[in-house]
Amino acid sequence: MSLVAGIDVGGTAINYTLLDDAGTFLIEGLCEHPALAREGPVVCVRQIAEGLAVALARAGASASDVVAVGLDTPGPASATGVLSAEGSTNFIHAGWAGFDLRGAVEAALGTPVAYLNDGNAAALWGHYVLFGDRADATSVSAVIGTGLGGGIVIGRHVVKGVNGFGGEVGHVLVPYGSIAGTEGIRPACNCGRFGDLESLCSLTAIERTLLPYFLARDPSHELHREASLHVAAKRVRGMAERGDKLCRDVFRVQAHALGLFFDQMINVFDPDGLVVGGGAVEASPEFQEWFIAEVRRGMPPQREEQAQVPIVVMPNGDAAGARGAAVDAWNLVRHGA
Ligand SMILES: [Zn+2]
């Protein structure tokens, strides 16, 4: 048996998948192991190796079956998996600064290791679902979570960029002044920009900008009774799904912002497909359909061919990072990159 492993490392949990050479995932759903990232890189690398052994045992496979490993972590990190000097999101321990995680995992496992940041790994999964191993397809993915991640895949290649910031789609500015029903809004992002995609289309955007904006216009809305905007923001998706008007308005603004961003991507890449993932769209098929239709409604007029570009919801959202990392490992084995 020839296998690759996909290992998605977060601050608290490591998520594993195994993919065989016939393209079958040997683990359904999540196989998790504690990351212990706060205890520093030495402990975390040990956890990564231990958890892989657990995942292999669960699938009835052994370490000698693994021909390569795909690894992904939150950024910022270099294109070769060296974490930023300031540390990375949720990797809070002095030892992480400038740590070569990819190299350390490769040394610990004795197997070639490919590296992607978590947004790019999810984007590669979204791309693979649509286009498999095709050498000529282009996709752009947006993953709506606490922030907004994603990536650009051309053929089998993830656009990583010279500094590892390729496909940081959340910090691309969108012309939000054209979104109807948002007069006077001033969407700020943690990165210092106003009006980038993440400042309008993320859980943080709901809490910081969209919910305060719409609640101020609806003094009797039940979300005023929540203890904080932080708590209230987490209820918006569920309430939107059930048809609450204010919460639908919040999601309509997010969809229209995404439509403006996708319009830019259509004009830059003329892509084969656009993918939306993340917690925002882990919802009923009806809600997903409504959201995608609103994304299209938010786009400026398209040429007929451009209007045909498929916009799809990324499947297996919670396993997307690990699955994309596994696809990356197969690309390393089969295509050398
Ligand atoms: Zn930003």
What pLDDT sits at residue 75?
87
What pLDDT sits at residue 216?
98
Expressed in angstroms and rounded, the spacing between residue 170 Cα and the centre of ligand 1 is 6
Expressed in angstroms and rounded, the spacing between residue 199 Cα and the centre of ligand 1 is 6
Kindly report, residue by residue over 1-55, the tens digit of the pLDDT.
899 999 999 989 999 999 999 999 999 888 999 999 999 999 999 999 999 999 9
Q: Kindly give the pairing relationship between strand 273-277 and strand 138-144.
A: parallel
Expressed in angstroms and rounded, the spacing between residue 195 Cα and the centre of ligand 1 is 8
**In Å, how far are 70, 92, 116, 163, 336 from 78, measured between CA atoms?**
15, 17, 9, 6, 19
Kindly report, residue by residue over 317-328, the tens digit of the pLDDT.
889 999 999 999
For every residue of 26-88, DSSP letters joined together read: SS-S-EEEE--GGG-HHHHHHHHHHHHHHHHHHTT--GGGEEEEEEEE-S-B-TTSBBPTT-B
CATH architecture type of domain 130-317: 2-Layer Sandwich (3.30)
Expressed in angstroms and rounded, the spacing between residue 64 Cα and the centre of ligand 1 is 43
Q: What average pLDDT does this structure show over 259-281?
A: 97
Expressed in angstroms and rounded, the spacing between residue 5 Cα and the centre of ligand 1 is 32
Query: Which fold would CATH assign to domain 3-111?
Result: Nucleotidyltransferase; domain 5 (3.30.420)
d(CA 148, CA 159): 17
What pLDDT sits at residue 1?
83
pTM of the model: 0.95
Expressed in angstroms and rounded, the spacing between residue 234 Cα and the centre of ligand 1 is 20
pLDDT of residue 235 exceeding 90, the answer is yes
Delimit the CATH 3.30.420.40 region(s) of the chain: 3-111, 130-317
What pLDDT sits at residue 131?
96
336 band by pLDDT with thresholds 50, 70 and 90? confident
What pLDDT sits at residue 115?
97
pLDDT of residue 59 exceeding 90, the answer is yes
Q: What is the CA radius of gyration of the chain?
A: 20
Expressed in angstroms and rounded, the spacing between residue 200 Cα and the centre of ligand 1 is 10
Kindly report, residue by residue over 103-140, the tens digit of the pLDDT.
999 999 999 999 999 999 999 999 999 999 899 999 99
**In Å, how far are 1, 18, 156, 242, 335 from 22, measured between CA atoms?**
10, 12, 17, 41, 16
Expressed in angstroms and rounded, the spacing between residue 104 Cα and the centre of ligand 1 is 30
pLDDT of residue 337 exceeding 80, the answer is no
d(CA 123, CA 150): 5
Q: What average pLDDT does this structure show over 191-203?
A: 97
What pLDDT sits at residue 6?
98
